[in-house]
Structure 1
Amino acid sequence: MTPLQIKLLLVAQILCGLSSGLLYKQQQRSVVNGVEFNHPFMQTYLMFIGEALCFALFLVYKKMYPQQYKKECEDAVQEGLKLNPSKFLFAIPTLCDFTTTTVGFFAMYMMPLSINYMINGGNLIVISVFSVIFLKKVLYRHHYMGLFLNIVGLIIIGVSAMQNSSDGDNSALLLGIILQCCTFFTSSTQSVVEEKFFRNYHLNPFEFVGYEGFWGLIITMAGLNIFTHIDCPSIISDCPDGKMESVPGFFDQVFTIEGEYQPTLLIVVILTIFAIFFLNGIALSITKYLSALTRSVVASVVPFAVWMATLALGWEEFNYIQLIGYIIITIGSLIYNEIINIPVFNMNYYTKEKIAQREKMYQEKPAITIDLPNCEEDAKINDPQLNNVVSAETQQAAS
């Protein structure tokens, strides 16, 4: 890829991450028929529609580049990876994705959008713990420093959010923060399962996301049949028909083309599907052509972009404490991902770059040989005492 294409790809990821968050929040801010739009399960369903559309990209790729696809499969087999995994395996990470997304939408409804995005940066903490337990990864000093800063930043952002909310909203905001933190566990489980999956099986990333999208539609439909009959807790306001979800209420609000928020709501719902579609496609392209590290670093910019957008739209007010918390979380993530190296207390001794340099040095270092005659001559010249010892040993060996 050319430098210009790389820059456009990175900007596109930021814009897609920004737009998807704004579109979902705009849905929740809409009021139709005197009721706020609060449909987390249906919003999850929209997300999975966007993911399922990624399967079309895989089919196009397979059709246009059959030889390249065949070679990728052959190379994967040579590397010991399996092909054609059971389609039921995709249900496991998808169930985690369903839980993470749905609970996350409940949390988003209870807090400002920027707070939601910034708190989500604390997901790194649980992912690291799960990676050590299940993937047997090793954490070094700079990793622990990054995690420590993440925890500090997370606490600062949570405190700043509580201070700026009204007394009546504190309980809902606190619940939202707790729910968002709970998603760290399901999201981390999904990441670990997917990583183990790719260690054993070969699958095109777009195909993988597509299968997760199809399974997500099935799981969400099953969830709708359950949660549409469960009464909504009193702490959650504006529940559709007093239940956790209402499918008729969703379609009624989306297709009621009247009022202040229409037809904006209908347009936003449609745009959300395509935003998720492009977000997954662009993110996977960055992983393929650049690196997963680049993808994670660019993603760390999205919360700040979201915050600036919400300030410009008048949805939120500036809070310098929140800014401090975000900066600390971002620095922690950059240290953890070795973008920032701290040259004190050996913080940079176990980075991937330093380890690779030491391994290369050990491989290139020539073997040490000892020339005994030269050693004896050197001893005679430089060390008379050693000369006597060597001469005695030589005479003893001769006798």
Structure 2
Amino acid sequence: MGWTTKQLSLALMMVVTGSINTLSTKWADRTLSKGIDGTVRHFNHPFLQAVGMFLGEMSCLAVFYIIFFWKRHKGEEFDVGPQTYNPLIFLPAAICDMTGTSIMYLGLNLTFASSFQMLRGAVMIFTALLSVAFLGRVIKRFMWFGMMVVLVGLVLVGLSDTLFGGENKNDINGIISGDLLIVMAQIIAATQMVYEEKFINKHNVPALQAVGFEGLFGFLVLGTLLVPMYFIRVGHGKFSGDPEGRLENSLDAFVQLSNSWQIALATFGNIVSIAFFNFAGISITKEISATTRMVLDSCRTLVIWMFALAVGWQAFIPLAFGIQAIGFVFLIIGMCIYNNIIIVPLINKCRGITPEEKEPLLSGDDTGIQEESSNKPMYQTAQNA
């Protein structure tokens, strides 16, 4: 059965807006603008950019209530669940999202947009391990194999950055630091996902509302923290481009925004794209499947990679390109194996094994991490941003 026009539109929206989200952030990072001290420099304000992302997520809450009141006004049924939970249950998830996103934006400022997107695949490994520790899950053997394949892919992506930095050959330490920050941030993203599954899923919260609440708390907390960040001095280095060495100089950021329409447009694109991306992702999960959402997210990575090469954000070095391409293929294959997509079913089919039969060599135990279902969280924001 083919896809409907609505499903195709949602898929296109997810790939396009997801790509814009990463590319607009990197565009702002690469753009020069006059700052508060009168000097022209790159826009290095990851924490303010993270606040913008939360503003986009928070808009999902407004959309949810607009739909809710519109449906009620028309007398139509709109299932919002029991609504008996305390909204503060979203605060820990928002703090994880805030911390992980801020660290990832720090890393994005130091490395390539394509590597940023690919290295985020590490979240699958950390989520699986934390699920074993805190959710009592048992990982099947083919899932372990998938994780190992993903790990190989991550190593190859990091290797291509380290050995062949293109125009950043003289800044290898910065590239390595950026890659490591992105991978470290996935531990926090995985913590968020496990927390959501353990404490939030049982309340059957509508996805748009959940994304909106996390965006609201993230916006309030990180927006408030911008004040003390202004007074924290970290010196001049890779993590602060501020002329006075402040951790985050929001005043300087707004001056640079006012002096560059490119940065203003990129920031606006970041805010708007994350809102539409979350909406499209949630709708894809509901209309088709979470597996389809994962495949489309891989397409987003490919779009970002090709765009970065086309516009010269990442120099084309054949050997580096080849290593990164192989790493990308390993990432896709590993995710397919882990999620029991295509590869394992194909092996079972070739061996004459039906889905109802048990396969000890592939599954290990009869229990394992659950496959995608309506019970799994459809609103993971840290991984999708």
> TM exceeds 0.5?
yes
Residue 324 (str. 1) matches residue 326 (str. 2): yes
Task: Answer whether contact 2:234 2:240 (CA < 8 A) is retained.
Answer: no
With over 3 angstroms needed to count, the CA separation of the structure-2 counterparts of 1:2 and 1:163, relative to structure 1, is closer
Residue 247 (str. 1) matches residue 231 (str. 2): no
User: 5 Å matches for 1:237-386?
Assistant: 239-240=241-242, 241-256=244-259, 262-318=260-316, 319-342=321-344, 354-355=355-356
Match of 2:214 among 204, 212, 216: 212
Structure 2 counterpart of 1:216, one-letter code: G
User: 5 Å matches for 1:1-399?
Assistant: 3-33=4-34, 34-66=40-72, 69=77, 72-73=79-80, 83-165=83-165, 166=168, 168-232=170-234, 234-236=236-238, 239-240=241-242, 241-256=244-259, 262-318=260-316, 319-342=321-344, 354-355=355-356
With over 3 angstroms needed to count, the CA separation of the structure-2 counterparts of 1:198 and 1:87, relative to structure 1, is closer
Is the partner of 2:121 in helix, strand or coil?
Answer: helix
Structure 1 counterpart of 2:17, one-letter code: C
Task: Answer whether contact 2:33 2:43 (CA < 8 A) is retained.
Answer: yes
Q: Percent identity?
A: 27
How far the C-alpha of 1:211 sits from its partner, in A, is 1.0
- Segments of 5+ residues of structure 2 without an aligned counterpart are 35-39, 360-385
Output the CA distance in 2 between the equivalents of 1:272 and 1:342: 37
Structure 2 counterpart of 1:255, one-letter code: S
- Residues 339-396 of structure 1, C-alpha deviation per residue, up to 9 Å, x if partnerless? 12237997999x9x824899xxxxxxxxxxxxxxxxxxxxxxxxxxxxxxxxxxxxxx
With over 3 angstroms needed to count, the CA separation of the structure-2 counterparts of 1:69 and 1:186, relative to structure 1, is farther
- Residues 178-202 of structure 1, C-alpha deviation per residue, up to 9 Å, x if partnerless? 1111111110011111122343202
How far the C-alpha of 1:170 sits from its partner, in A, is 1.4
Is the partner of 1:316 in helix, strand or coil?
Answer: coil
Structure 2 counterpart of 1:17, one-letter code: G
How far the C-alpha of 1:223 sits from its partner, in A, is 2.0
Deviating more after overlay: 144-153 vs 267-276: 267-276
Task: Answer whether contact 1:120 1:180 (CA < 8 A) is retained.
Answer: yes
With over 3 angstroms needed to count, the CA separation of the structure-2 counterparts of 1:25 and 1:247, relative to structure 1, is same
How far the C-alpha of 1:233 sits from its partner, in A, is 5.1
Is the partner of 2:116 in helix, strand or coil?
Answer: helix
- Residues 15-58 of structure 1, C-alpha deviation per residue, up to 9 Å, x if partnerless? 11111111000000011121210001100110011011111211
Task: Answer whether contact 1:122 1:329 (CA < 8 A) is retained.
Answer: no
With over 3 angstroms needed to count, the CA separation of the structure-2 counterparts of 1:286 and 1:197, relative to structure 1, is farther
Structure 2 counterpart of 1:311, one-letter code: L
With over 3 angstroms needed to count, the CA separation of the structure-2 counterparts of 1:344 and 1:42, relative to structure 1, is closer
Output the CA distance in 2 between the equivalents of 1:101 and 1:230: 20
Is the partner of 1:219 in helix, strand or coil?
Answer: helix
With over 3 angstroms needed to count, the CA separation of the structure-2 counterparts of 1:322 and 1:2, relative to structure 1, is closer
With over 3 angstroms needed to count, the CA separation of the structure-2 counterparts of 1:305 and 1:356, relative to structure 1, is farther
TM-score with structure 2 setting the length: 0.83
RCO higher in structure (CA 8 A, sep ≥6):
2
How far the C-alpha of 1:169 sits from its partner, in A, is 0.9
Task: Answer whether contact 2:161 2:176 (CA < 8 A) is retained.
Answer: no
With over 3 angstroms needed to count, the CA separation of the structure-2 counterparts of 1:266 and 1:146, relative to structure 1, is same
Structure 1 counterpart of 2:280, one-letter code: I
Output the CA distance in 1 between the equivalents of 2:32 and 2:245: 16
Output the CA distance in 2 between the equivalents of 1:8 and 1:357: 38
TM-score with structure 1 setting the length: 0.80
Structure ranking higher in helix proportion = 1
- Segments of 5+ residues of structure 1 without an aligned counterpart are 77-81, 257-261, 359-399
With over 3 angstroms needed to count, the CA separation of the structure-2 counterparts of 1:220 and 1:347, relative to structure 1, is farther
RMSD after superposition: 2.4
How far the C-alpha of 1:138 sits from its partner, in A, is 2.4
Output the CA distance in 1 between the equivalents of 2:281 and 2:326: 28
Structure 2 counterpart of 1:315, one-letter code: W
Aligned partner of 1:397 in structure 2 is none
Rg larger for: 1
Output the CA distance in 2 between the equivalents of 1:156 and 1:289: 35
Task: Answer whether contact 2:160 2:324 (CA < 8 A) is retained.
Answer: yes
